[in-house]
Structure 1
C-alpha cells in the first residue's frame, strides 16, 4: 500500500500551490454558480461551458453531471402528433446530418434522409440485447425472417479473438479518472458504495459549515475556515472509524495545515497523473454540483458577510473530499481485489487481467448466457478478494462460445431494427431478403450511425423551426399594419392616451398589458423591471440591503426608505412595535429549539399552532382575513418616501437619530422588561445625547430621568455603556453613519441621465398622458421556498416596487424635467408618474405614494384604479384556465378571489406558473405585438429603432435584459429536459437547509434549478424546452454591429445558445442570425 510512511513528506512550494489553485478554478467550468434562495437568480446550469457549442456543452454536462440535454424522443413524437412539429421542419433539421446517398430495394430508391426521418419518427426498434432472442425466436419459423436473420449473421464483422471480454479493460483504462472517479469505478465494478459514503460525509460537513442562521445550534470553530474547522472537529467524529478507516485520529492529525498541501498529498497517494488533474477535479466537483456551485459563488463574494465570517472555497472543499476518497478507495480495493486503491494499481490490474476482468464485469453487468455458464465455476465471482488469476485461466472454449453468443445477440438486435425500419418505410421482408449484401450492409450502417442518443439535437431544431414559422404567421397581420403605418408620408397627430403604463418585460405582464389595453384608452410599454436604475435598497426598519438589479450589473447608488417628514412620532411607535414583534419571534424560536421547553410548549401554546394549522389548511381565505385584521390592529401605519435626492447633512443626522431612538426602545424592551413607549420622548432623546457625549453626564437634569425610571447614577452609567457597546451609540459611529447616508441618492444630473435613458430606450419621448404608471412586480405565496424565483429577475429576485418608486420620483422632479427639454423630451407639467406593483399570483396592482398625486388628477386616478381592477379580473380568468387543478370557471365566478386563495394556500405547490412556458423575447414597437394573445409566453421590451439611429439603446437591451432572459430560458430548458439533475425534482421531498436552499429529505445535494411542479403539468412538460428566440425589429446591420462588439453575444449566437431573429424594418421579413453564415432568411 502506498502511504505516507513509505516516503518522507515534501512540503510543496508556493508556485505549486498557485498552480493548483489555478487548476481548480479552471476545473469548475462545468459547475454553475448557485445563489442563495432568498435572492433566487435564474441562470444557465452550463454557464461555464458557453464557450462550447450548445451540443458539445450538453455532452460535457452528460460526462460530468450525468444530466440529459434533450427532451425524450417519446415526448417529441407527441409534439409531432399534435402538430407542434412539422415534417417539413424535420426534413430541414436532418439535412445537415444526412448524406447525399441512396440504396435500391426492389424497384425503389431510398435516400439516406428517408431512412433517418423514419428512424427519428418511429424509433430505432432497438431493444435490450439479452431479450432480443425471446422477441425474435417466435418469428424465425417464417422463412423470410429466418433468411433475413441469416443474411445479417453473414454480414457480421469478425472481431479479434477475446475482443468482447478484453473490451471492458480497454475501455475502463481509457475512462478511469477521465469519465469517472476512482470511487465511482469501485462502485460500478465492485458493488461498493464508496461514492455515497464520501458524499454523505461531505454533505454533513458543508451543510453545517454553510448554514446561515437556520440551524438552532451552529457548527463550532467556523471562523477558522472550512478546512481547519473540519480538521479540529473530525477528531471527535466517530464516522471515519465506523466507515472502516483505521487510525482515523492519527491520519487527521497527520494532515498538512494548508488545504493546498492536503490536496497535493491526496493526489500523490491516489497516484493520479498530473495531466489528468484538471479533469479529475471537475469530476469531483460535479459529484455534489449544488453544494460546490454555492461554494463557488460564495467564495467570489468579497462583501458577503457570511463568507467573511466563515471562509470557504473549492480548494478547502477538495482537500476534505479527496481525503475521504483516498481512504475509502484504498479500503475497498484492498478488500475486494487485494490491490492498493490507486490509479496506477487499478490500471495495472486491468492491463494484466483483461480476460478475467472482462468475465467479472459481464457477470456484474448482466445475466450470463447459459452457453457460457457450463464452462465457469460461478463461486469464483463471489470471493473476497476476487481470485482474478483463476478467472484468467478459464477454459479456452469459453472465449469462442462467448464470442459466438454475443455475435448472435447482435445479429438478432440488428434484425429487429431492420424489420422495424422496413415496416415504417413500407418495405416487405421479402424485398429485404433479396437485397444485395452491400445494400443490406449500408442499411445497417445507417441505422447504427443514427442511434437514439443522436436524435435530441434534430428534434430540438425541428421544434424551434416549427415554432418560429408559426410565430411569423401569427404576427403577420401586425406586420402589415406596421408597413402601412411606416409608408404614410405624414403621421396623424397622436391623441393623448387616458393613461400610460410601463410594465416589466416579464411574460406574466404580457397578458395583463393586453387586458389593460383592450379596456380602451390605455397605452402600455415593456421595460426591464429594475427600470434601468441599479440600486441597493434598504427598507424602513430593515437591517439588510437588497440588490435591486440584474447580477450582470454593479450598483452605484444606495436608496433608503424613510418616514415622511410628518411621520416622526408614528415612526417611533412603528419601530417600537417592530422590535416587540422581533423579540417575541426570537423568544418563540428559542423556546422551540431548546432541549427542554418544547415539552412544556405543547401543553401551553399548542392550541395556537393548531389554530394556524387548521386555518391555513381548511380555510386559508378566512384565516388570511383574520391574520390581516390582527396585523392591521397591531401595526402602526406609516407613510414613507425614498432618499432619491442627495441627502443633506441635517437630514442625515435626523435619520441616524431616529435609528438611535429605536435602539434605545429596543434596549428597554430586551434588558429592562418595560416598553419604551412608557418613557417620554424628551427622556429618550436625553439618553441618546448622553451616549453621544453631546450633553454632560453629571447634569442635574438627570434627576427627572432617575425619578421616572427609578434609577440611580450607576444604573444610568450601565445603560449608557450598553448603548455604546451593543448598539454603537458613540460619536465616531455617528459621523460614519451620517457620511454613509450622505452617499445615498442621486444628483440631479444623474437623475436626468437615468430618466432620459429610460424614456429614449422605450421610444417613449412624446405624447405623455396625465398619469404614467411605473409598474414593478412581485409574487405572493405561502410555504414556498421558491418564492423569490417568482419575483422580478431583473431586480435580483426581489420585488420591483422600490425601483419603480425611485424612477417616479426622478421623473416628477421639476429640475429633471427642465433639463430633459434640452435633450429633446418635453414632459407636460400635468403629467404625473405613479409607482405601483403587480402581484403576479393575485393579479392585483397596488399603487404607492398616492399622497404625491395632485388633487387635479384624482379623477384620472380613480379611472386608472377601475381599469386595473377590471384587467385584474380578466387576466385572472385567463390564467386560471391554464392550471390543471382548477375546474372550469363559471361566468358568475370571481376569478380574482380564486387567485387570492392560491396565494394563501400553504399546500399549493404551484401558486402560479411563473416564467414557465416562455419562448420568445420581442424587442420592438408595440404595434408589432399589440392585440396578439401570446398566452403569457413572450417577453415584451419596447424599442423604436427609428429613435435610435446609432443603436445605443438597442445595445443596452441586448447586453442586459436579453442576457438575463437567456439565463431564465436556459434554466427552464434544462429543468424540463432533466428535472432530477438540472432541476430540483419534486417539492414534495424538499427540506430547507441552512437558509440557502433545499435538499431531498435529510441528506442530498443542494437542489439546483426549478422544481418539477414549475415546468411540468402532471407527467407532461408544461414548458416547451426550446432555446430563446430573441426577436428584434431593427436594421440587420445595426444588430450585427452590436453582436460584433460584444464577446458574450458572439458566444451565445455562434454556439447556438440563443436564436437571434431580426425583423427587417424595410421589408418586414424575418432573418435568423448565425455568426458563421450571417443572416439567413426564414421562409
Structure 2
C-alpha cells in the first residue's frame, strides 16, 4: 500500500470516533457517539470520556432527584444494584459516586490553545455560508489551497517549519510533518488531532461526505484540515506524540451509574409496555368503522399530544409516519435561491421537487407583498449583525422605530397578532403553486403511496385524509431548525405532505393502487397541512378540496381548534389562555424556550394508530403506525426497524448526551451563544463549534432538569418471530440492541398479547411479571434459527 493510501485510510479510521455535525440552519439530530456504537454502551462512554472528555452518565444529583420524584422504582433499582454486586442503600451509593474530573494542570495558554485559536479563525472564515460581508479570498482552491496562498499574510502564524514552504498537496504536507514519527503512531495522532476540535471536525466530515453547493464551491476535506493543523504545530515545533491511553475501562462510578440508569429506564418502560399490552387486548374486540377523517402526523413526540386531544373531539383516526412522508427529495420552494434536502440523512435524495405557479393573479400579489416584507427583513438583518448601523438606523428612524422595538420586547403577543395579520394578506405558496410531481414516474408515485399505506396498515379510507407535516415558529433563535422536522433534515414538513397528497390525488395513481388491493373510494380526498408545534395550530392546505366536502372540512377545522386549546393547555401547564401564551412565546425575541422540541422523549411505539388512541403518553413517545395483519411478510416492519427506529435512537442519544454533559456534547446557554458563518454557534468569541442542544432545550432552570436522560425504549406490536427474523437479517440493528444503545419490547398479539423483552443475541424473555412466574408454552421466548 502506498504512503498516500495509508494516510487516507488512517484518517478515515481515526475520524470514526467523531460524530457528524450538520449546519445549524439545517440542524439534524445525531448521536455524538455514533462512532462508538459497535461497542457496548458502558465501554463506549468510557472510551469517549478518554478521547473526547465528555461524561457518559447522569450525575448522582440527577439520579437522586429522579429517585425522590419516584421516577425510579426502588424495587427495580435494588434488583439492578444487586445484579451489579452492590447491596448498600441507594442513597449511600450515590454519595460514593465520584464524578470529579481531574483538572488540567497545564498553563493557561498552551501550544494547543494557540494553534486552535489560529485554526478556528481560519475555519470560520473559510466555511462561512453567506454571512460574512467580506469573504476570504481564493476559497475555490479549497481549505488547504487557500491556506497555502494566504497564510504568509497572517501575522499570528510563525514563518517557520513546513509553513514556510508548504507542499502542493495536503497528503504531502501530512507525510512531511509525520516523518519523525513511526507509522504505527499515525492513526493515533490523527485521532487525537481530530478529536481536539470535534465540532469543527464533525462539520467538515459531514460536509465532505454530503457534498452540496457550498462544498462544491469551496471544498474542504479532513486531509486538508489535518494538513493545516499539523503544519501549524510544526511551525511552533510541537511534539505530536499521542498522549491519550485509549485504555479506559468502566469504573465503580460508571457501574453504579449504569445500574441507576437501567432502573430508571425499566421503570418508564414497564409503565409503557403495560399500557400498550392493555390497549392491545382492548383493540382485539374493537369494531372499526369508517372514521370522520384520517390525519397522518409525523412520528414526532409533539404530535402525540395534539393527536390525543383531536381524537377526543370526534371520530378521528390519527396515524404516525416519518415526516418526510416517504419521498426522498430535494425541495425548492417558489422564489427560493437554493433547494434543501427534505429527508433524513439515512435516506439518499432521489428527486428534486420544485414549486411551479398555477395562478398568475395570486402569484403577482405574492411577489409584490413579499418584496416589501423582504426589504424590511434586510433592514432587521443589518441591524442584528452590525451594532454601529443599528444605532444610526434607530436614531434616523426616530420614535416610530423605538416604539416598534418596545412592542417587540414588551408586548410580543400583540406583535404576533400584527405579523399574523400581515402574513394573512400574503398568499401562501400552496395557494398559487403546485409541487412538480410530474418529474416522478407513475411507478415511483404509486410506490411512495403504497409504501405509506402499507406502513400504516390502511385498509379503509375516510372522505378526508390529511398528511400533516410540522414546523416551529420562533423569533431570534439560531436553533430554530432544531425545532422543525428532523425527518426533513431540520426543515418544515409541509412541502413533503403536499407532495404525497398531490401524488395520491392523481387518477392514474389511485387506479393502480386499487389494482394492488387498496380500495380507495371515489369520495376520498387527500390534502396536506402543517402543524405549528409552537402554537399547535394546524394550517390545512385545502385549495383543492371540492365543495362536496365543505361540511366535513369545516367540522375538522373546528375540532382542530378545540384540540389546539387542549394541547396548549397541557404543554404550558396553564389554566389561563394557553393559546395566547404559546403565541407570545413564538413572537418574543427574548424567549429562550419558545417550545420544548423533543425534550422528554423516551419511548418509540410501533403499532396500529388506534392502539395509542386512549393512551396518555405525556408527549414522550414517538408513534409510528403499523398493522401486523396487513404485513404478512414483515416487509413494512423491516422498513420501520431499519430506518425510523434507528433515527429515533439518534435523536434520543443527542438529547441524552446533551443533557448529561452539555459542555462537551451540548451547546451551553443560548444567552452566550455567538452564531458563526450560518453554520453553528460558539460559546463566547471563538473556539470549537458547539455540537448539541442548548441548556434551555433541556432544563427548566439551572437546577431543574426537564428532559429525563434515558435511552430509548422501543415497543413493537407484532409477532415476536417476525421481529426476530428481521433482527437476524440486520446485524447492525441487532448490534445497537446487543450493545445497549436502546431497548426493545415486543407485545405479541398472537401470544395472548404477551410482552417479550429483547435479552440479547436474538433471544427474548417474558416482560410480564405474571408470565415470568408461570411461563406457558405459548409464551416461550423466541430464538431465531441459525
- TM-score, shorter chain, exceeding 0.5: yes
Report the equivalent of 2:204: 295
Q: Which runs of structure 2 are paired with 1:655-804 in the superposition (5 Å)?
A: 744=439, 746-766=440-460, 768-804=461-497
* Mapping of residues 59-138 of structure 1, within 5 Å: 59-98=46-85, 113-115=86-88, 121-124=93-96
Shift in CA distance, 920/605, structure 1 to aligned 2, threshold 3 Å: same
- Residues of 1 paired with 2:241 and 2:584: CA distance? 59
Partner of 2:322: 528
For residue 54 of structure 2, give the secondary structure of its aligned residue in structure 1: coil
Q: Alpha carbons of 1:540 and 1:930: their partners in 2 closer, same or farther (altered >3 Å)?
A: same
| 1:877-928 deviation digits (Å, cap 9, x = unpaired) | 01001xxxxxxx33xx332111111100111111111101011110012343
Does the 8 Å contact 1:30/1:60 carry over to 2? no
* Match status 1:1067 vs 2:752: yes
Query: Could you say if the C-alpha distance between residues 249 and 580 of structure 1 is closer, same or farther in structure 2, counting changes exceeding 3 Å?
Result: farther
Match of 1:321 in 2: 229
Is the Cα–Cα contact under 8 Å of residues 990 and 1000 in structure 1 kept in the other structure?
yes
Contact 2:475 2:586 in 1 (8 A): yes
Aligned with 1:980: secondary structure? helix
> Which whole-Å CA distance do the structure 1 matches of 2:268 and 2:388 have between them?
62
SS at match of 2:465: strand
Q: Which sections of structure 1, spanning at least 5 residues, go unmatched? A: 1-13, 99-112, 129-178, 331-340, 348-447, 486-491, 647-743, 882-888
Q: Are 1:77 and 1:121, in contact at CA under 8 Å, matched by a contact in 2?
A: no
Within 5 Å, which residues of 2 pair with 1:215-234?
215-234=132-151
Aligned to 2:765: 1080
Rounded to whole Å, the distance in 2 between the matches of 1:125 and 1:597 is: 53
User: Are the equivalent residues in 1 in contact too, given 2:605–2:622 (CA < 8 A)?
Assistant: yes
Contact kept, 8 Å, 2:592 with 2:670, in 1: the verdict is: yes
TM-score, normalization by structure 1: 0.67
CA distance in 2, matches of 1:508, 1:590: 34
Which residue of the other structure, out of 1055, 1059, 1072, is the alignment partner of 2:739?
1055
Equivalent position to 2:34, from 47, 51, 55: 47
Separation in 1, partners of 2:428, 2:72: 58
Q: Deviations over 1:108-140 (max 9, x none)?
A: xxxxx424x558635328799xxxxxxxxxxxx
C-alpha distance in 1 between matches for 2:99 and 2:660: 23
User: Unmatched 5+ residue regions in structure 2?
Assistant: 770-786
Matched, 1:263 2:174: yes
1:934 to 617, 632, 635: 617
Higher mean alpha-carbon deviation, 551-560 vs 906-915, is at 551-560
CA offset digits 1:676-712 (Å, max 9, x no partner): xxxxxxxxxxxxxxxxxxxxxxxxxxxxxxxxxxxxx
Q: Distance in 1 between matches of 2:468 and 2:590?
A: 29
Taking a change above 3 Å as real, the CA distance of residues 215 and 119 of structure 1, as seen in their structure-2 partners, is same
Q: Which residues of 2 match residues 442-457 of structure 1 at below 5 A?
A: 451-457=252-258
TM-aligned CA distance change 1:773 to 1:119, over 3 Å: closer
Return closer, same or farther for 1:596/1:802 CA change in 2, 3 Å cut-off.
Answer: closer
Closer, same or farther: CA 596–947 of 1 in aligned 2, 3 Å: closer
With 216-225 and 582-591 compared, the bigger mean Cα shift is at 582-591
Deviation of 1:466 after TM superposition, in Å, equals 1.9
CA distance in 2, matches of 1:778, 1:751: 25
Aligned with 2:709 (options 999, 1011, 1025) = 1025
- Is 1:624 the equivalent of 2:426? no
Q: Please report how far the alpha carbon of residue 255 of structure 1 lies from its aligned counterpart in structure 2 after TM superposition.
A: 2.8
Q: Is the 8 A contact 1:209 1:219 kept in 2?
A: yes
Equivalent residues of 2:84, 2:255 under 8 A apart: no
The SS at the match of 2:665 is coil
Q: 1:124 to 1:914 in 2, by over 3 A?
A: same
Q: Is contact 1:777-1:800 (8 Å) kept?
A: yes
- State the Cα deviation string for residues 381-422 of structure 1 (Å, max 9, x = none): xxxxxxxxxxxxxxxxxxxxxxxxxxxxxxxxxxxxxxxxxx
Please report how far the alpha carbon of residue 477 of structure 1 lies from its aligned counterpart in structure 2 after TM superposition. 3.6
Cα distance, 1:43–1:598 mapped onto 2, change above 3 Å: closer
Match of 1:273 in 2: 182
Where does residue 673 of structure 1 map in the other structure? none
Match of 1:851 in 2: 543
Deviation of the 1:937 alpha carbon:
0.4
Which one of the candidate residues 895, 904, 907 is aligned to 2:578? Answer: 895
Over 3 Å counting, the alpha-carbon distance change for 1:1024 and 1:630 in structure 2 is closer
Partner of 1:810: 503
- 1:851 match: secondary structure: coil
Contact 1:644/1:809, CA 8 A, preserved across alignment? no
2:325 is paired with a residue whose SS is coil
Query: Contact 2:360–2:432 at 8 Å: present in 1 too?
Result: no
Distance between the aligned counterparts of 2:547 and 2:629, measured in 1? 37
Selected match of 1:307 from 195, 211, 215: 215
Selected match of 2:2 from 15, 23, 45 = 15
Q: Deviations over 1:804-856 (max 9, x none)?
A: 111212222222222222212111111111211110100101011x2311111
How far apart in 2 are the matches of 1:637 and 1:297? 31
* C-alpha displacement of 1:590: 7.6
Taking the aligned partners of 2:736 and 2:615, their CA distance within structure 1 comes to 29
Quick check: 1:23–1:278 contact (8 Å CA) kept in 2? Answer: yes
Q: Is the 8 A contact 1:563 1:639 kept in 2?
A: no
Deviation at 1:451, TM superposition (A): 3.4
Deviation at 1:602, TM superposition (A): 5.2
SS of residue in 2 equivalent to 1:560: strand
Report if the CA contact (8 A) 1:985-1:1012 is conserved.
yes
* Partner of residue 610, structure 1: 402
Q: CA offset at residue 480 of structure 1?
A: 3.3
Residue 774 (structure 1) shift: 1.5
Q: Which residue of 1 aligns with 2:346?
A: 552
| Residue 878 of structure 1: aligned partner | 570
* 1:972 to 1:257, Cα distance in 2 relative to 1, 3 A: same
3-state DSSP of counterpart to 1:915: coil
1:865 pairs with 2:557? yes
CA contact (8 A) 2:140 2:218 kept: yes
Asked whether the equivalents of residues 563 and 638 of structure 1 are also in contact (C-alpha less than 8 Å), the reply is: no
Contact 2:363–2:432 at 8 Å: present in 1 too? Answer: no
1:558-594: CA deviation from partner (whole Å, max 9, x where unpaired): 2221222xx2244345446655765776688789989
Give the SS at the match of 1:523.
strand
Q: How much has 1:53 moved relative to structure 2?
A: 1.4
Check whether the contact 1:73–1:455 (CA below 8 A) recurs between aligned residues.
no
> Could you tell me which of 586, 589, 593 is aligned with 1:906?
589
Tell me the C-alpha RMSD between the 2 structures. Answer: 2.9
Are the structure 2 counterparts of residues 217 and 1060 from structure 1 closer, same or farther at C-alpha, using a change threshold of 3 Å? Answer: same
Query: Structure 1 262/1029 Cα, relative in aligned 2: closer, same or farther at 3 Å?
Result: same
What TM-score, normalized to structure 2?
A: 0.91
How far does the alpha carbon of each residue in 1:230-284 deviate from its partner, in whole angstroms, 9 at most, with x for none? Answer: 23322122213xxxx5xx268533232322222222223xx44322221221111
Give the number of aligned pairs. 762
**Paired residue for 1:507?**
301
Paired residue for 2:656? 973
Other structure's SS at 1:914 match? coil
In 2, Cα distance between equivalents of 1:832 and 1:635: 23
Which is helix-richer, 1 or 2?
1
The alpha-carbon distance between structure 1 residues 225 and 627, as it changes in their structure 2 partners (threshold 3 A), is: same
How far off its partner does 1:934 sit? 0.9
CA-to-partner distance for each residue in 1:770-814, whole Å, 9 max, x for gaps?
Answer: 212211111100011111111111111111111111121222222
Give the structure 2 partner of residue 425 of structure 1: none
Q: Is contact 2:305-2:619 (8 Å) kept?
A: yes
